[in-house]
Amino acid sequence: MAWTPPIDRRAKKELLKNRRFYRLLSEQCPFMDQDTAFVFYTGLVAVVAQELRRHGVARMPHLGDFALVEQKARPAWVGNHQVMMGAREVLKFYPKERMRRYFNKRQKAH
């Protein structure tokens, strides 16, 4: 069975649209229209991918770090057979401590 993220994508369909993201980004930067925000963001994604390929880690200032981390070899089911999956690299995100503290503090308030 495939892994599904713990968000209700159907209920939040309007919130997860790409156009909405670029509109919000352009509103934060009044000198940019949505198309310029799109070009800037795709450039940012390309830089992160390039850093991950070259060094295995990419820093997003004020947000956190993306890193390729080796996942240990482990057993898995393939149909009726149990096989040993080899080690592989997985993408992890490590948020900045300040951001973690902010969101943890917000949860205690509710």
Kindly state the helix (H) or strand (E) to which residue 88 belongs, with its residue range.
Answer: strand 88-95
**Predicted local confidence at residue 109, as pLDDT:** 62
Tokens 């930067």 belong to which residue? 29
Backbone φ and ψ for 73, nearest 5 degrees, come out as -65, 145
Asked whether 58 and 70 are in contact (CB, 8 A), the reply is: no
The pTM score is 0.75
Asked whether 57 and 47 are in contact (CB, 8 A), the reply is: no
* Model pLDDT for residues 8-62, shown as the tens digit of each residue: 777 888 888 888 988 898 999 888 899 999 999 999 999 999 999 999 999 999 9
Average pLDDT taken over every residue of the chain: 89
